[in-house]
Chains A and B, each alone.
Chain A
Amino acid sequence: MADKIATREAYGKALVEFGAQYDNLVVLDADLAAATKTGMFKKAYPDRFFDCGIAENNMIGVAVGLALSGKIPFASSFAMFAAGRSFEQVRNSIGYPHANVKIGATHGGITVGEDGATHQCLEDFALMRTVPGMTVICPADAAEARLAVKAAIDNDGPMYLRFGRMAVPTLFGADYDFKIGRGVKLIDGTDVSVIANGVEVEQAILAAEALKAEGISASVINMATIKPIDRELVIEEAKRCGCIVTCEEHSVIGGLGSAVCDVVCESLPVPVVKVGTNDCFGRSGPAKELLSLFGLDAAAIAEKARIAVGLKKQ
């Protein structure tokens, strides 16, 4: 594993990289350019960067006006404000006309850390998945974040991209092939399938290694696209492993876990145990500590995997 890089950092770099290629790429921010890393784009292309001030709802509308005029706007803020505060603007102004707006939401999840509950968005997957036509993506590392930005540019329609604050190891190499709506198997296993995204992918890999020592064979899937979810892969894993653990830095209500349940409930019911925050708000603390405190670390995933395997035997 190479140096640790936050996906927000990779987002900023990707905007600069692809900004050179696409003249119609424009970037909006709501007074958080230093934190969301869109400041890199501002520096490189000052004429195509527009700070909207602390006014996210207007920013979403401005992005729509730009999109309807042929631009590819990336509108950035923290996940809490982009998906939370502006939910109705996202639904009615972006979603309803199916505007080609890309929401680059950083600081998703509990690993926001010290800022605490008001800034730790644990509901964005749930909110964004309910908007018809919205694609929802949460990359696991810098390489995937870069490719997700490219895919967002190349595919028409509304997209929600969630990036993290915390530096994470780079899991994927230059040959990594990212496609919207496709999950990727990172570890092959037969007893339980661990389906994760974002920072939880690293934890899932660590959990699989620990489980292996106990004789439990866990497969690990990186499910970066929450919507549209890779139905075929979920069903295949349910069939092969007979139980699933979902892992996300998000509430267990409405996110990746729910999306996976929607698929298996309809097609092949098997036990699904969710790793996520349990209907609660976050709190201040160092990101790594919070992952453990809220039951999102490798040890918690391994425990849920044992439970899932146990349910299968009942």
Chain B
Amino acid sequence: MEQKRISELSEIARNVRIGIIDAVHSASSGHPGGSLSSADILTYLYFEELNIDPKNPADPLRDRFVLSKGHISPGLYSVLAHRGYFPVEHLKTFRKSDSNLQGHPDTKKVPGVDMSTGSLGQGVSVACGMALAAKIDGASRRVYALMGDGEAEEGQVWESAMFAAHYKLDNLCYILDWNGLQIDGAIDDVIGPAPFDTKFAAFGWNVITADAHDFESLESAFKAAKECKGKPSVIIAKSIKGKGVSFMENQASWHGAAPNDEQYAVAMQDLKA
């Protein structure tokens, strides 16, 4: 990837992060930690990887993206806004009673949201169905699902993993945001869902590892996923929860809490520096 493109994507990701903090601060609630850890992944997907058109969000030929970890809606909304699906200013209506930007994404309310999610473990199964439909149609469209590391504790994730491998859904790619933290603390302390690589490999998946905050690493990961035939791919992306906001980084407590005005100012300073 050219240095110029890396700089452009970094700038977009910085704005996506600002949008996340704006949304969560305006709502006085929401999930900034995981939104920030996924911000570069979402930026790469929406500005490099996905075959989509914001002017035609229902195009049947488009690639699909399912945010299986639906609670990081601020991340999805921010990237959609910056990609041109709706005005960036609209992010400040997040979680308000007259807004279409629900706490968890609603496919019927927001253009560009391919599936309503929020209950963990369910989005990945829907992505499997979308990938299967593309196979039935003989279509080239691809399907991506972003899941959390804590989400891997849901049994349904492994049901879906079994299904996707059995039906050789090589047009399907999960991205597992491995930030190592969930609401109750470190994932290893809560219940220990890791290791993810050997688990997915045992289920018959093509396993790729990446740095969730390095666009070149993400580029080669998504390229490897696309090139793999005969089985689904998972990109295990090591990330930093709260990435980009000094006081949120690696803090489980920022999983689902909003910054107050003072903290907001510090966050903006961090992101605009």
Q: Report which A residues bind B (CB closer than 8 A).
A: 26, 47-48, 50, 52-53, 55, 57-71, 73, 88-89, 92-93, 96-98
Contact = CB atoms under 8 A, between A and B. Distances in A.
Interface residues of B, number: 35
Interface of B: 60, 64, 106-108, 114-116, 118-119, 121-134, 136-137, 143, 155-156, 159-160, 162-163, 166-167
Contacts of A98: 108
Contacts of B132: 50, 62, 65-66
A92 B122 contact: yes
B130 A69 contact: yes
A62 B106 contact: no
Given A96-B116, A97-B108, A69 B129 contact: yes
The B interface is mostly helix, strand or loop, or mixed, namely: helix
Contacts of B137: 69
Contacts of B167: 50
B159 A57 contact: yes
A65 B126 contact: yes
Contacts of B114: 68
B159 A65 contact: no
A57 B156 contact: yes
Contacts of B155: 57
Top 8 A-B residue pairs of the complex, sorted by shortest distance between their CB atoms: A65-B129, A61-B125, A69-B133, A58-B159, A55-B159, A62-B129, A65-B130, A65-B126
Given A50-B167, A61-B128, A96-B106, A66 B133 contact: yes
Contact of A65 (B106, B121, B133): B133
B60 A70 contact: yes
Given A61-B122, A61-B125, A55 B115 contact: no
A71 B136 contact: yes
Given A71-B136, A92-B118, A63 B159 contact: no
A295 to B, nearest CB: 38
Contacts of A50: 132, 167
Contacts of B126: 61-62, 64-65, 68, 93
Contacts of A60: 125
B129 A53 contact: no
A65 B127 CA distance: 6
Given A65-B125, A70-B60, 15 more contacts: A48-B136, A50-B132, A55-B162, A58-B160, A60-B125, A61-B129, A64-B129, A65-B126, A68-B115, A69-B130, A69-B137, A71-B136, A93-B125, A96-B116, A97-B108
A89 B119 CA distance: 9
B160 A61 contact: yes
Nearest to B122: A93
Residue of B131, B159, B160 with most partner-chain A CB within 10 A:
B159
9 contacts: A53-B159, A61-B123, A61-B126, A64-B129, A66-B132, A68-B107, A68-B129, A93-B116, A98-B108
Given A26-B136, A58-B156, A98-B108, A66 B129 contact: yes
A65 B108 contact: no
